[in-house]
Amino acid sequence: MQRIVISFWLVPALLTALWLATAPFAAPPANFFQFRAIMVQYTGILAVGCMGLCMILALRPRWPEPWLGGLDKMYRLHKWFGIAALVTGVVHWLWAKGPKWAVGWGWLERPVRGPKPVPDNLIEQLFRTVRGFAEDVGEWAFYAAALLIAVALLTRISYRLFFKTHRILAAVFLVLAFHSVVLLNFRDWASPLGLVTALLLAYGAWAAVVVLRRRVAAHRQVGGEIVSIHYYPGVRVLETGIHVPEGWPGHKSGQFAFVTSDPSEGAHPYTIASAWNDAERRITFVIKELGDHTRRLRDRLQAGQKVTVEGPYGCFTFDDDCPRQIWVGGGIGITPFIARMQHRILQREAAGGQLPKQGIDLFHTTADVDESALARLRAEAEAAGIRLHILIDSRDGHLGGDRIRALVPEWREASLWFCGPAGFGAALRHDFETEGLPVKRRFHQELFAMR
């Protein structure tokens, strides 16, 4: 989490430093309108820079994933940059429009300006001729971007509508990129600020084209076929087994993938609930009925149906050297731990029945109960050599740090892996940090919210 915070603030800080290096205040502004021109440039650079990074992260690139801690963290950063683009875009719009309104209302008087000298550079002359058009289309693109970003932030809007409208932002970005190229101070293109801005605009524009063509991560997509479906009514969960005959590179326990069963709905992310066995080439997903799409899956999916699987993604892979691990799965957050248990079972079989030495306690808290699902969980935990603690909310109350520490006396030597509701995870992290656990190194949480 700390790294995405650093990354978020580093970008505006870098753009600000590069902007200041262009010496915008080399001479004090002679009047308010000169100061306004400076601020329009600054806020515009911040807004288009943040939106460019949104487009880049929308490609789901692999190169920043290890440093940021997984695609789930990258999507959180994508969301923050979207909000930052909206805020700085509004400020940019107010600097551009507000003084014009004030002049119309008689609050300000526009200074008399003489004729502008004709530039020697032919490109600058061209930019001058299309400046008015760039201002007009940029203004309307801003209105569209503001509306679409606001829609994306409203979680009550269905994923289907979100998927369709969010892609329009790619086209809007291309218009805003044109607006920025024309209206950035021409002399600044030869500065480090111009170089960085050009890179962000070029990379962002390429990303926008990829999004519009619906080719995001196309090289990581493989075809699969549904081979098994089982529904657990007590917990409203659908377990789906998919056979991927070729192309899938394998995955680590705890990773997730995007699955497309209906192209009009788009790809949905699900944690993989199975260990990878190259001989079987099968991936299992355990899907909770949480929204309109997931509630319809039980009726729409069937054995033999073709699907597309993209991935794997994520760094929630249980990799550490602690002698003990504590796993906490809240509700459907149990899925990465199911995959890891199956991985340990495969390790045990490969080692002739000997279990890995690392001690593990798994806490599974749930409000819903399905006895067949819990029986299967107990059997896999026993086979994997894991001490399982099942807590039913109505019977056992809510799980807290005190209960975990009482049941795991060696907790100070352990790492804690959490998957479940964000508020629950934040409370556990704070609780263990208060008790002295080095949470920056040993508390691992998946931010499984892609909107």
> Quick check: 450 pLDDT over 70?
no
pLDDT of residue 447: 79
Q: Indicate the pLDDT class of residue 308, thresholds 50, 70 and 90.
A: very high
Q: How far apart are CA 82 and CA 59, in angstroms?
A: 15
- The H or E element spanning position 325 is strand 324-330
- Across 172-176, average pLDDT: 97
Residues 6+ apart with CB under 8 A from 382: 388
Q: Interior CA angle at 256 toward 250 and 258, to 5°?
A: 100
CB atoms within 10 A of CB 133: 12
Coil, helix or strand at residue 386: coil
- Across 244-264, average pLDDT: 93
Question: What's the pLDDT tens digit per position in 194-203?
Answer: 999 999 999 9
Mean pLDDT, the chain, rounded, equals: 92
Give the range among 61-65, 89-93, 260-264, 308-312 with minimum mean pLDDT: 260-264
The model's pTM = 0.90
> Quick check: 236 pLDDT over 80?
yes
Coil, helix or strand at residue 449: coil
Query: What domains can you pick out in the chain, each with its CATH number?
Result: 2-212 (1.20.120), 218-313 (2.40.30.10), 324-445 (3.40.50.80)
- Across 242-270, average pLDDT: 92
Provide the angle, in degrees to the nearest 10, between the axes of the packed helices 192-212 and 168-183. 160
Residue 259 contacts residue 309 (beta carbons within 8 Å):
yes
Q: How far apart are CA 83 and CA 53, in angstroms?
A: 12
pLDDT of residue 218: 93
Angular region, 167: left φ>0, alpha ψ -120 to 50, beta rest: alpha
Q: How far apart are CA 81 and CA 7, in angstroms?
A: 10
Instruction: List Cβ<8 Å contacts ≥24 apart for 34-42.
Output: 36/95, 36/99, 39/95, 40/92, 40/95, 40/96, 41/184, 41/185, 41/188, 42/16
Q: Indicate the pLDDT class of residue 353, thresholds 50, 70 and 90.
A: confident
> Quick check: 179 pLDDT over 80?
yes
Question: What's the pLDDT tens digit per position in 414-425?
Answer: 999 999 998 999
> Quick check: 192 pLDDT over 80?
yes
> Quick check: 114 pLDDT over 70?
no
Q: How far apart are CA 356 and CA 324, in angstroms?
A: 11
Distances (CA, A) of 434 to 97, 324, 441: 49, 20, 15
> Quick check: 105 pLDDT over 80?
yes
> Quick check: 214 pLDDT over 70?
yes
Q: How far apart are CA 53 and CA 387, in angstroms?
A: 44
Give the range among 34-43, 117-126, 127-136, 313-322 with minimum mean pLDDT: 117-126
> Quick check: 449 pLDDT over 70?
no
Q: Percent of the chain scored above 90 by pLDDT? A: 75
Residues 6+ apart with CB under 8 A from 367: 331, 392, 393, 394
Structure tokens at 205: 């524009």
